[in-house]
A and B are shown apart, each in its own frame.
Chain A
Amino acid sequence: MIRYTLLLILSLLSANVGWAYPSITNYMTAEACVHVVMESPDYINNHHKIQISSVGPDTLKTSTYLTDTIDIPEKSTSVVRNIFFFKGESRWLKKINYSDKSIAFITALIAAIMISIATMIILLVIILMNRRRMEKEELLHLYLMEKYQSLIINYLFGSASPEEFRSIASDTHRRQVLIDQMIDVSIYLKGDESKKLVSLYKLLSLDKDSITRAYSHQWHKKIKGFRELAFMNINDANSAIYKALNSSNEILRMEAQIALVRLNDDNPFEFLSHLTSHFSLWEQITLHELIIQHNIPVPSFQKWLTSPNPSVVIFALRMIREFKQKESENDVRETLMHPDPAVRYLAVQVSGDLDMRSTLETMKDMYKYQEYNICLEIIKSMGKMPDISMMGFLKLVIDKEDDVQLQIEATKAIHNNGEEGVIALDKLMVSKYKNYNIIIKHVLDRRIF
């Protein structure tokens, strides 16, 4: 089918070329003709009828000469025919005045039309062929997937021999489907079966394919290679993976991180120490999910709180919170003074979430020098770890701050102090200094959260 289409495209292209060449010849003839006409007034007088009415006003400038030579074809259909089927003797091409446009210009215009028509036809053919190709590929892929999956399972748990895979591995496309299937199956395997699958992978030299891909210059091939190596636990291309760790391509970088976590059993997060590029939230979420789903041993993240890369510090703080590593309290307190505001913000949040009360005084002291969002987070954190010693500060926030959100969070924080908090709010309700009622009503409405 592809051959037929290529033939069709080639024939169309050659047809276009075929049209184009005579057209150029015709225009050259036409130019010469106009030249002759312009130099021979006698020729004008003796040859053609004048049809001034059919000439646009834009041609009036040269009407004394050229309009006299215009010979409009009798039917518009013949005009169209002449455009597409150039004939050497076409009077239309030779004699028409194209609004003072040069012959080269007209040629370019016709060439552009031809190119557009050719493009249209080619695109249409591609659309139709692509649809058929996609349907065909999908069917074949489904068939091969089912076939290979049962073959792999039969090999792992039944009587199939490695020789049955040899013929598959000799074909490039089928080999790739086989690799994909082996990776899919490997997700559910542990122990001896997993080792058996890895040996088969190596026996069929599929690991060489993966290593070649990992060293490829094309990023999408690299990713595929990294994934295959990580799933099959093959460490032979680690240098390529480390190199990709600081790549500007975020998806390649992320896949390199995932591969290294999976391949490095002793110290899966060692790569964090080598990471110099920004560790985006997306990468952090993906890695966190990897830890959860694959039961990867969780290290103590506090050692990365001193990383020179702020995004690594942020990740460490998040992991400390998610895995409730409260023993990091002292280091978290230190990060409250981090020069990066994003780190400070998260450190405040983590302190509150993990009930790290030793941070309260530091937070109170730092409050007045912080940006709005950090201030708000400090008040929220104070609400998460209610402490009577903070009540005075919180009342001050309600009194002095104009921002509604700060007032609400400070009121919530006071309210969280149990009975003493309620008494403090009661006093505020009757205060004449400011109308606190609407804030307190908001805070006490348990439907709002």
Chain B
Amino acid sequence: MMGSIFANIFFIISLILIGSYLILGIFSAVTLRKYLRKNSYVNYNSLVLSPLSPKISIIAAAYNESKTIIDNVRTLLSLYYNNFEVILVNDGSTDNTFEKIKEHYELTKVNYYFDYHIPCERIRGVYKSKNPSYNRLIVIDKKNGGKADSLNAGINICHNSLFVSIDADSIIETDSILKLVKPFLEEKDRKVIGAGGVIRIVNSCDVERGHIREIHLPGQMLPRLQVLEYTRAFLLGRMAWSQLDGLMLISGAMGIFDRETVIKSGGYSTKTVGEDMELVLRMRRKMAEKGVKYEVTYIPDPLCWTEVPSDIKSLYKQRTRWTRGLLESLFTHRKIFFNRTYGSLGLLGYPYWVFFEWLAPLLAFSGFVYTIYLVLTNSLNLPFYILLFLFVYTSAVSFSIWAILFEEITYHKYKKKRDVLKLVFAAFLEPFFYPMHTYFAVRGNLEALRGKKGWGKTERKGFEIKKKKVRQPSLRRPVKPEKTGKSDSST
């Protein structure tokens, strides 16, 4: 009896999951086609030259990134846009990140007076360069408080109505700001409060002085599988959710926000490791509760390249952290669940994340455990099991190949035919790694239940390793306490 119930639940969930992927895929295809067609008539150069283009602040948080910080800041300063400033926040690095940047960019402390609109750790000083070539650069030196806290400090300092938050160790496409800012310029009756784009994987690419020289598919299997995962998530998932007005996440690696809305929403939360999702949820919630018409948009263009874990240990840390972040965000904003006040977000987006991003991996894990139990008790109904397995496997592979096709006909980043074939091969292997991901999800849930906080340490191999062995594993940010807001001066 119990077995039959289990089997039915597994099957129905699989069916709904596959069905929802199919619907999202179709939505995504239609939206992507429309976007690309429209974009083919857009001349972004007019935005670069125009005095009418809005001024933007780019906020990047850095913690113990001394090996790459000079190149990373140089990349930021050379972005293809006219009106922008770069605010680099040194989050109390324990290595010589700050000293290096201070020396290289000829920084000097300025008498900066500002408001703590959003609570953040104490700002020890605000620095500007003596060299006029770097007049776009502002460096904040503050006590360690984590990524969210650093971004909040940057938001307090910047004065522009739009800000871009990025990971200092990501590689930004030079025209990314042009693409990110466009939805705000097209704003009509609905206020645009945030926009995100596609994050790509930089592992195995040739990187030179903060710019990608040649794109390659990752050589190792784990990053390659993540290429598939990212392609599916960004080109199939988020594109569709954006169209359905159910977008809940703008990747922390790169996103643009309306500063006023962020401040009114209270800035990034320092209580969660999923601050990127939590902020979007909170902003959306505030806007909906106020009855303001708004939108969170998504750009399918590749904007930013990031390094993904290439070993199981790092992947485990990343995924358990993601799960904790997801759970914390969902729990904090549980009021949205099936609540009509929040429109598509409450009725579609949020429930989807609850059922398919949070609960589905747990159910899948229990399915694996149950299968093992059946095998051990010699009571597995093999023919039916094989049928179900084939059904799920072929559907999963089909979706992955569909995502590869999307990539091929849209951005076509992998020029070598061999790379695409390798990716297809990875699509056939990927389902066998699913049990591992479900295990990570279970561990993430357990960690969340135990109240674990903080980012932990993520080891990065470094993407310039092939050219010159410069990059050492960089540490991500530890935890941070809260602080109340008040006015202060860096002096």
Interface residues of A (CB under 8 A from B): 53-61, 72, 76, 79-80, 83, 92, 96-101, 106, 109-110, 112-113, 116-117, 119-120, 123-124, 126-128, 130-131, 134, 220, 223, 250-251, 255, 278, 280-282, 284-286, 288-289, 318, 322, 403-405, 408, 438-439, 441-442, 444-445, 447-449
Contacts and interface: CB of A to CB of B under 8 A. Distances in A.
- Across the A-B interface, give the 6 residue pairs with the lowest CB-CB distance, nearest first: A58-B3, A116-B394, A442-B113, A289-B46, A282-B185, A58-B4
Contacts of A54: 378-382
Contacts of B189: 278
A183 to B, nearest CB: 13
B379 to A, nearest CB: 5
Contacts of A76: 382, 386
B3 A80 contact: no
24 contacts: A54-B378, A54-B380, A56-B7, A79-B386, A83-B386, A99-B3, A99-B384, A113-B387, A117-B394, A119-B401, A123-B398, A123-B405, A127-B404, A130-B408, A251-B42, A285-B185, A288-B50, A289-B46, A289-B49, A322-B51, A403-B115, A404-B115, A405-B159, A438-B113
Contacts of A289: 43, 46, 49-50
Interface residues of B, number: 69
A101 B384 contact: yes
Interface string B151-179: 00000000100000000000000000000
Nearest to A322: B51
Contacts of B4: 58-59, 61, 99-100
Given A284-B52, A441-B111, A98 B381 contact: yes
A72 B189 CA distance: 65
A415 to B, nearest CB: 14
A149 to B, nearest CB: 21
Contact of A130 (B383, B395, B409): B409
A449 B132 CA distance: 12
Contacts of A280: 185-188
Given A53-B379, A123-B401, 20 more contacts: A56-B379, A57-B2, A79-B383, A79-B386, A98-B384, A98-B387, A99-B7, A109-B391, A112-B391, A116-B394, A120-B401, A124-B401, A280-B187, A281-B52, A281-B54, A289-B46, A322-B51, A404-B113, A439-B113, A445-B111
Given A56-B374, A116-B397, A281 B187 contact: yes
A54 B395 CA distance: 28
B450 interface: no
A100 B42 CA distance: 58
A442 B185 contact: no
Nearest to A287: B46
A52 B381 CA distance: 11
B465 interface: no
A69 B159 CA distance: 77
A90 B183 CA distance: 60
B108 interface: yes
Given A100-B4, A403-B115, A404-B113, A285 B186 contact: no
A278 B395 CA distance: 44
Most buried by B among A120, A134, A255: A120
Interface string B75-117: 0000000000000000000000000000000001011111100
Contact of B53 (A130, A285, A438): A285
A98 B8 CA distance: 12
B381 A55 contact: yes
Contact of A438 (B391, B397, B402, B491): B491
A54 B255 CA distance: 54
Nearest to B383: A96
Contact of A441 (B42, B113, B182): B113
Contacts of B383: 79, 83, 92, 96, 98
Contact of A448 (B1, B37, B111): B111
Contact of B128 (A60, A119, A223, A447): A447
Nearest to B417: A131
Nearest to B188: A278
A60 B4 CA distance: 9
Interface string B385-420: 011101100110110011011001100100001001
B388 A56 contact: no
Contact of B381 (A59, A80, A444, A447): A59
A438 B126 CA distance: 14
Given A99-B7, A124-B424, A130-B408, A404 B50 contact: no
B118 to A, nearest CB: 13
Contacts of A59: 3-4, 381
A284 to B, nearest CB: 6
B413 to A, nearest CB: 13
Interface string B1-41: 11111110000000000000000000000000000011001
A153 B186 CA distance: 39
Interface string B217-250: 0000000000000000000000000000000000
B1 A405 contact: no
A124 B380 CA distance: 34
B185 A281 contact: yes
Nearest to B85: A449
B489 interface: yes
B1 A60 contact: yes
A403 B114 CA distance: 9
A70 B87 CA distance: 71
B487 interface: yes
Contact of B50 (A72, A285, A441, A444): A285
A404 B487 contact: yes
A439 B402 CA distance: 58
B299 to A, nearest CB: 14
Contacts of A322: 51-52
A442 B489 contact: yes
A11 B420 CA distance: 25
B37 A220 contact: yes
Most buried by A among B5, B374, B383, B424: B383
Contact of A442 (B111, B395, B398, B420): B111
Nearest to B159: A405
Interface string B347-375: 00000000000000000000000000010
Contacts of B112: 442, 445, 448
B47 interface: yes
A296 B261 CA distance: 39
A99 B424 contact: no
B47 to A, nearest CB: 6
